[in-house]
Copies of this chain bind each other. A is one copy, B any other.
Amino acid sequence: MDDRLQCEVLVVGAGYAGLAAARELRRRGVEVLVAEARDRVGGRVWTETTPSGALVDHGGQWVGPGQDHLQALADELSVGTFPTYTTGEGVELRQGRRSTYGGLIPTSDPAAAAEGVEAIFDLDLAAQDVPLEAPWTAPGAEALDGQTLGTWLGDRLKSPGARSTIDAAVKGVFGAEPGEMSLLFALFYLHAGGGLMNLARTTGGAQERRFVGGAQQMARAMAAELGERVLLSSPVRDFAYGDDAVVATVEDMGGTGSGRGSGDGEGAGGRRTVAARRAIVAMPPAVSARIEWRPALPAARSQLAMRAPMGAVVKVHAVYDEPFWRDEGLNGQLVADEGALRITFDDSPPGAEHGVLMGFAAGNDSRALDRLPDGERRRVLLEDLARAFGPRAATPVELVEQRWCLEPYTGGGPVAVCSPGMLTGCGPALRAPVGAVHWAGTETATRWCGYIDGALSSGRRAAAEVLAALGR
């Protein structure tokens, strides 16, 4: 059972970061192995055909202006894109009343809308002062990092309406409450993605286009190039490292099953060791903390991993015979100040043979939803959809939930959200190699942190570090 494998570089994690790193290394003739805990590649990007035949992206799905790494990869692999559907008006639910709005910002309370827009501009302006390579060196970094985004918003916004609109946007973007995250981190993240306005919008922003055939296929294509070098169902349990070598103990979980996570466990398979000259660990910091590191990681690195909790998100797809809301002049977008689903999008396929509404339950709403039994969760979600889009929304052909907090190798989503104090206390450990171990993953990106694009650039950056270390 003690199968021993050898390679030059071990990559842990076959999400976009790990695959991009492995691919880059392969192209330079480096022998790589990629150990992936799940029985699929793609990490937080996962496309599935549902029982009713709809193609849904359970995780990351969009590409927008400025995401050049992702767009170039799609072009290279001949994966097409199409615009997110945005024709018509959005639905706003505020204090129990439903209205519709055009443009970017719900306007039923015009004063609140104006105040909210101003705050977004101020946030995005402040974000410009945070250096992307080293947010901990921003002017006043300690003070910014010692408070939450919630504190900043609370000091700034006088109207509850403005606050609830911004909260909905923040929760949609981060999967977390404004009161959970460091203000310095929020500013860094906004800067890295071109600002909150950019991150929140469809046309011209981060949700502009979708991939024909789903967002996971570029990961599948990269994995196919790597062939047997990608070991699925192979979580790393134990990781011994020095300055010039690593030995990882990899569990063999069998490689079959539903794609839903952790394998079937007890006594499953044996263990392999993989020896390599260097390693790239491409996973969220919190997940990397589950590995047994020998020797123990430096304090700043292990403390960092405890201060980068994953956001909480349930991504929901409701599949209908047709996109009926379009006939009513609606674009499928919702902004709500209560309920589980506070943000939705029209996620119908191109050509719209059927209609799909997709929504997020985020932060506390996600965790509250998760506490309900299956039937009750379904009831709550359908109620939210019907309140926004009318009674037809209550009877979808299919309702698909992806509960990211229950994925053991992700722990939540869409991204790690730095707790106050993390960046100034531990930040430099984000990317600093530890002996022969290099770090990748979208959380380590300096542009589009939290996005597929950031995952790709982080993998390439780590590959470049490794190539330099190997003298290649």
Contact = CB atoms under 8 A, between A and B. Distances in A.
A306 B177 contact: no
Given A142-B179, A367-B425, A425-B180, A408 B148 contact: no
A177 B422 CA distance: 10
B312 A309 contact: no
Nearest to A405: B299
A247 B267 CA distance: 11
A238 interface: yes
Interface stretch (A107-115, A190-198, A258-266): A258-266
A147 B293 CA distance: 33
Contacts of A406: 295-296, 299, 302
A162 to B, nearest CB: 16
Nearest to A363: B425
Interface string A291-314: 011111011101100111110100
Interface string A242-280: 000001010000000000011001110000010000000
Among A142, A146, A176, chain B packs the most CB atoms within 10 A around the CB of A146
Given A143-B154, A151-B151, A237 B237 contact: yes
Contacts of A366: 299
A44 interface: no
A424 B293 CA distance: 32
Given A237-B237, A262-B292, A367-B425, A420 B299 contact: no
B306 A286 contact: yes
A150 interface: yes
A333 to B, nearest CB: 26
B238 A265 contact: yes
Contact of A289 (B154, B290, B302, B367): B290
Given A294-B265, A425-B177, A420 B148 contact: yes
A419 interface: yes
A400 interface: no
Given A2-B267, A147-B179, A266-B247, A296 B420 contact: no
A371 B300 contact: yes
A309 B307 CA distance: 6
A64 interface: no
A408 B364 contact: no
A332 interface: no
Contacts of A459: none
A403 interface: yes
A28 to B, nearest CB: 29
A169 to B, nearest CB: 17
A273 B267 CA distance: 9
B179 A421 contact: yes
A407 to B, nearest CB: 7
A146 B148 contact: yes
Among A266, A294, A302, chain B packs the most CB atoms within 10 A around the CB of A302
A206 B24 CA distance: 57
Given A148-B148, A148-B420, A419-B419, A407 B296 contact: yes
A421 B180 contact: yes
Contacts of A180: 146, 307, 419-422, 425
A286 B308 CA distance: 12
A290 B298 CA distance: 17
A97 to B, nearest CB: 24
Interface in A391-426: 403, 405-408, 411-412, 419-422, 424-426
A408 B293 CA distance: 8
A293 B249 CA distance: 19
Given A180-B419, A180-B425, A238-B265, 16 more contacts: A145-B179, A146-B180, A147-B179, A148-B420, A150-B420, A180-B422, A237-B237, A238-B266, A249-B266, A266-B294, A289-B289, A289-B290, A289-B411, A299-B406, A302-B405, A306-B309
17 contacts: A2-B267, A146-B178, A147-B147, A151-B151, A179-B420, A237-B237, A262-B296, A265-B294, A266-B273, A289-B289, A295-B406, A302-B411, A303-B309, A306-B412, A367-B425, A419-B419, A420-B420
